[in-house]
């Protein structure tokens, strides 16, 4: 499978690194990026071919094109790619950009898959949701799964509109984790713990709790109840959180993120 990346930033780097570990060779990749230092770094680290612009040479022989540009750059990137499309599968990792808009910018091309990865993909621990146009066959879906598996888990959603709540839950999700870690760190410092100690405690608690949950068939609520003894320290902490409405606020925050994803799709897809 030959893959061309439009954009050579962090996500493209993560995909190339992960795919090389899966047995791909440097010759399987071509990266298009106008930023010369970035291209030089990719060639130096991975030995991949690069070019400053989308050309027939860069795209004609590939099987898959991965659009790894920012949402605001997608329309311009599509204009550069459109003349070189034949039968290639095209994957978009840009938040908010809908398939009908991508297809319109690509002169009606429909072998398209929209994906929503998250930043743990940078260390091979991401999770990506995908939605394919009806024009994508089983082989195309399998190719997308193989590519996305290089940076973590991948799953399909039944409707493209579900990618907005996916963005709210997992696309933006790492920021919520870091936000909560910040709060744990601040509390530990105010309680007198040394900076490194509280950082280690907070990180390992998060990592361990997530691993425990991933290996348990029980619900998150049940797992929480198991560490919440009546009248104990955990109950005291959770009581304060409930008094401040933290759970409801968090739910409303994710709804706002999902709504913003829909709004971005409307804004970026305007003619």
Write the pLDDT tens digit of every residue in 82-103. Answer: 999 999 999 999 988 999 999 9
**Average pLDDT of the residues in 204-217:** 97
Q: Is it the case that residue 271 has pLDDT exceeding 90?
A: no
19, containing H or E segment: helix 10-21
Mean pLDDT score of the chain: 95
Query: Phi and psi dihedrals of 114, rounded to 5?
Result: -100, 135
The per-residue pLDDT for 114 is 97
Ordered domains of the chain (ranges, CATH): 3-158 (3.40.50.720), 171-264 (1.10.3730.10)
Binned at pLDDT 50, 70 and 90, residue 57 comes out as confident
Percent of the chain beyond pLDDT 90? 95
On whether the CB atoms of residues 50 and 32 are closer than 8 A, the answer is yes
Q: Fill in the DSSP letter of residue 125.
A: -
The per-residue pLDDT for 270 is 82
Does the CA dihedral 263-154-174-18 come out positive or negative? negative
Q: pLDDT tens-digit profile of 10-56?
A: 999 999 999 999 999 999 999 999 999 999 999 999 999 999 998 88
Pick from 152, 104, 146: which is nearest to 128 by CA? 152
**DSSP-derived 3-state class of residue 55:** coil
Both tokens of 196, joined, read 């490194």
Exposure letters 205-232 (e unless 16+ CB within 10 A, then b): eeeeeeeeeeeeeeeeeeeeeeeeeeee
Q: pLDDT tens-digit profile of 159-184?
A: 999 999 999 999 999 999 999 999 99
204 CA to centre of own chain? 23
């Amino acid at each position: 499978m030959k893959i061309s990346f439009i954009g050579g930033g962090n996500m493209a780097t993560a995909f190339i690194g992960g795919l090389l570990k899966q047995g791909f060779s440097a010759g399987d990749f071509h990266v298009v990026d106008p930023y010369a230092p970035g291209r030089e770094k990719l060639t130096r680290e991975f030995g991949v071919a690069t070019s400053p612009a989308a050309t027939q040479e860069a795209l004609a022989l590939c099987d898959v094109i991965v659009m790894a540009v920012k949402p605001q750059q997608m329309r311009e990137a599509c204009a550069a790619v459109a003349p070189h499309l034949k039968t290639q599968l095209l994957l978009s990792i840009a938040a908010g950009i809908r398939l009908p808009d991508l297809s319109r910018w690509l002169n009606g091309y429909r072998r398209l898959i929209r994906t929503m990865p998250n930043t743990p993909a940078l260390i091979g621990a991401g999770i990506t949701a995908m939605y394919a146009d009806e024009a994508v066959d089983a082989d195309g879906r399998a190719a997308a799964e193989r590519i996305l598996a290089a940076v973590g888990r991948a799953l399909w959603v039944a409707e493209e509109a579900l990618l907005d709540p996916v963005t709210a839950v997992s696309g933006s999700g790492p920021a919520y984790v870091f936000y909560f870690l910040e709060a744990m760190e601040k509390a530990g410092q105010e309680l007198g713990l040394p900076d490194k100690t509280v950082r280690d405690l907070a990180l390992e608690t998060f990592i361990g709790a997530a691993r425990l949950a991933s290996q348990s068939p029980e619900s998150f609520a049940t797992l929480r109840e198991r560490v919440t003894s009546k009248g104990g320290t955990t109950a005291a902490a959770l009581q304060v959180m409930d008094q401040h409405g933290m759970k409801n606020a968090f739910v409303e925050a994710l709804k706002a993120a999902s709504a913003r994803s829909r709004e971005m799709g409307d804004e970026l897809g305007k003619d």
